[in-house]
Homo-oligomer: A and B are copies of this chain.
């Protein structure tokens, strides 16, 4: 039997929306948004799309009209009643009412601010300006839209059976990874793949595959919509945008030096337990740890998001030991460029020495490498970052100079202030 109603419904869509909900975003964006809404609601920021894979000429692949339709659709979204109820009532990391009533009221009335879109040199210049809590919520949907429109542009050229085989191969590929991950002892792994997913439906499939394949070793997803729909834990803590904006707002070098710790002071007040995760690499992990105040050693763990992950985790272990903490009670979350080999290696290396957990991103939800001619569906490195705050440029150094951002003079100043010496460049794949 053909379901005529479904068929007709599908045909009458004006667009096939990529982002269907304001909570089709990473959980940590909402946590950070609430913190910003409380602490820095009036900061004016600009977020900008940056395609680090300049060989992918997005403006030639993706139709501008379709892109505008998708972005306009996102501006038409409002927080749904069920979504609001879930955010207000659900238990996150064991805590009820994580989101305060004043924040929820603001969120329920939120419309995302306007966007600016231009084409330049085969790329889209897509920027968002306005108050920080509003603008920052564009990051994930903007990335997801561009990633999926690029997928669709390639898929559009393919015939019915080619499509079926493509997904058959992609499913097989992921399942083979899951079968290897089943062998990893004491695995704790979460989906961090929203921003660079192949598509929404594919991410949703990946999550279901992890649920069935890994059972309790799969601890949840960063995607709030999927967490709500699939009855999973929403996972995430905080990101580079907090220290980047706090740093940009600093008036003096000394304020700049303290900015990353100011971020965590605010966070310390607001959160406890599993939400107290340090992200140390914004201006170099080594200096961050050396100069960290003592109260930070009591935090639950650390997230390693750039540089050599072994070096990063070893530095954290040494730091905890130095400060009298037992690393075996601490948590290291790896979230940079993970795939199965690296997860296996890191597990072998750190098992028994520290608790570890993995936030698996692009190579979970977008590993279409090698599946079509010319590798036209391979993932690429697209980011959407705060580039200025109250008119001042932001800077990111990280532990990999290939991930550094900001004007050259400011990068030099930050390197001086934070005492960052020479760094080893590592190729940024995704």
Contact = CB atoms under 8 A, between A and B. Distances in A.
Interface stretch (A89-97, A169-177, A340-348): A169-177
A406 interface: no
A430 interface: no
A172 B172 contact: yes
A63 interface: no
A102 interface: no
Contacts of A167: 168
Interface stretch (A3-11, A195-203, A261-269, A374-382): A3-11
Given A168-B167, A168-B168, A168-B172, A161 B5 contact: no
A208 interface: yes
A281 B313 CA distance: 71
Interface residues of A, number: 21
A239 interface: no
B172 A165 contact: yes
A164 interface: yes
A1 B3 contact: yes
B175 A209 contact: no
A213 interface: yes
A208 B6 CA distance: 24
Contact of A171 (B3, B9, B164): B164
Nearest to A5: B1
Interface in A154-189: 159-162, 164-165, 167-169, 171-172, 175
Contacts of A161: 175, 208-209, 212-213
Contacts of A171: 164-165, 168
Interface in A1-52: 1, 3, 5-6, 9
A161 B160 CA distance: 22
A372 to B, nearest CB: 13
Nearest to A205: B164
Interface in A105-164: 159-162, 164
Interface string A213-246: 1000000000000000000000000000000000
Interface in A53-77: none
Q: Which of A6, A162, A164 has the largest number of chain B CB atoms within 10 A?
A: A164
A82 to B, nearest CB: 18
A159 B209 CA distance: 11
Given A1-B3, A165-B171, A160 B212 contact: yes
A169 to B, nearest CB: 5
Contacts of A208: 161
A172 B169 contact: yes
A9 B172 CA distance: 31
A175 B165 CA distance: 7
Among A159, A165, A208, the one with the most B-chain Cβ atoms within 10 Å of its Cβ is A165
Nearest to A179: B165
A219 B12 CA distance: 38
Contacts of A6: 1, 3
Contacts of A169: 168, 172
Contacts of A165: 171-172, 175
Nearest to A213: B161
Interface in A279-297: none
A162 B167 CA distance: 15
11 contacts: A1-B3, A159-B212, A161-B208, A161-B212, A161-B213, A162-B212, A164-B171, A168-B171, A168-B172, A168-B175, A172-B172
The 10 closest A-B pairs by CB, nearest first: A3-B3, A168-B168, A168-B171, A161-B212, A165-B175, A1-B6, A168-B172, A169-B172, A161-B209, A172-B172
